[in-house]
Amino acid sequence: MTTDHRNAAGDPPASRLEAMRRGVERMIPVPTGHRDARLGVDEAAHQLGCASELVELLVAAGFPAEETPQGPRFDYHDVMNLGLQSGTGRSVAELGERSCMRLATGRPESWTAARDWRVRLAASVEGSPETVVAPLPPAPKVLGGELLAWQADIDGPGTAEARLTTRGLVDSPRTDAVRDIHDQLLDELATGVYQYGWIPGTLRAEPRTALAHRMADCVVSAWLMRERAEEAGLRARTRKGFLLGLIGVEHAWTEVYEEGRWLVLDPVLAYLGGRQRNTAPEFADFCRGSIHNRVLAWDRTAEEPLADHVSANGERILVDCRPLPLAD
């Protein structure tokens, strides 16, 4: 009889460690000046879905850590990106992405039907919970939806509730110039020219720096596509909102003006859909011009917060969006 010693996540230790070592080799660390190493070993292990002992071994393999009297400390974004690059399927980052990208499953006609929602919003200032900020009302009308009701301070200052309808729309580029802006970035993400991942707010605010380090998220990608569209002589803008599902996930995309209408370009969503096993084959083309009915927009650019707050010190504004049952 043999004993198969497994770690807390259920994998044989050798195979689990090897997958995560490969993740360390692939991931692009948050650059110095933007890294904020606060997570301890146990919390990093929880986020990665592994045993604490494996995290300690990963430090020896090159995983960025800051040594403190309390032990190694890790940047939250580095930990999330290690989870994505390890591909174990058990990290918080992977599980969240998988849950979010359920919107890419099913039949395409289900992506455009009108949907009614009730969402609860809460706004805060990172690192300053005593500062009260008010979430802004969403603007579903910019993508063909409707805001039906809005109630501020529903659970106290800094909270609100909205009832709304979202609608999808099928469209696609009519010119090669617009099509190429979308397809170029999708190819760059797929081939690793830029590595999609979690980026701290200070680095998001410097998209050129992020791109110089080959790092991109939805906000940086939206900025890059707008720059490329404008260089091609096209009108373009970025927009921010949430992808609605079991939870709301903040998202940003680019809109390009072509032949009398604004066209949504979202190669990041197409790329993320391509990483999921059950994504419908039509989804990648859908992201090139169409609007999904699980996208809730604000009348804000990718760089602007979704709350009323004038920051004098560069604080990051956090907005939480949670879909609720339509009826209590």
Whether residue 167 is found in the same domain as residue 271 = yes
Asked if 90 contacts 49 with a C-beta cutoff of 8 angstroms, the reply is yes
Whole domain around residue 51: which residue ranges?
13-90
The reply to whether 326 falls in a domain is yes
The reply to whether 286 falls in a domain is yes
**Alpha-carbon span 78 to 65, nearest angstrom:** 9
Whether residue 58 is found in the same domain as residue 173 = no
Nearest to 272 by CA among 166, 177, 189: 189
**For residue 311, what pLDDT band results from cuts at 50, 70 and 90?**
low
Instruction: Kindly state the average pLDDT of the residues 274-301.
Output: 97
pLDDT at 127: 73
The reply to whether 176 falls in a domain is yes
Asked if 248 contacts 321 with a C-beta cutoff of 8 angstroms, the reply is yes
Whether residue 157 is found in the same domain as residue 259 = yes
The domain spanning residue 215 has which CATH number?
Answer: 3.10.620
Whether residue 83 is found in the same domain as residue 150 = no
pLDDT digits (tens, 9 = 90+) for 41-75: 999 999 999 999 999 999 999 999 999 999 999 99
pLDDT digits (tens, 9 = 90+) for 178-227: 999 999 999 999 999 999 999 999 999 999 999 999 999 999 999 999 99
**Does the pLDDT of residue 116 top 80, yes or no?**
yes
DSSP secondary-structure letter at 56?
H
Whether residue 177 is found in the same domain as residue 299 = yes
Tokens 């580029």 correspond to what residue? 173
pLDDT at 85: 97
**For residue 314, what pLDDT band results from cuts at 50, 70 and 90?**
low
Instruction: Kindly state the average pLDDT of the residues 117-144.
Output: 90
pLDDT at 138: 98
Tally of domains in the chain: 2
**For residue 112, what pLDDT band results from cuts at 50, 70 and 90?**
very high
Whether residue 156 is found in the same domain as residue 292 = yes
Strand positions, DSSP E, 109-247: 115-125, 134-135, 146-152, 159-166, 195-196, 215-216, 236-244
Q: What are the two backbone dihedrals, phi and then psi, of residue 188, each rounded to the nearest 5 degrees? A: -65, -35
Q: DSSP letters of 259-294?
A: TTEEEEE-HHHHHHHHTSTT--TTHHHHTEE-B-TT
Whether residue 51 is found in the same domain as residue 133 = no
Whether residue 85 is found in the same domain as residue 133 = no
28 contacts: CB under 8 Å, gap ≥ 6: 81, 195, 197, 213, 214, 215
Q: Whole-model pTM above 0.85?
A: yes
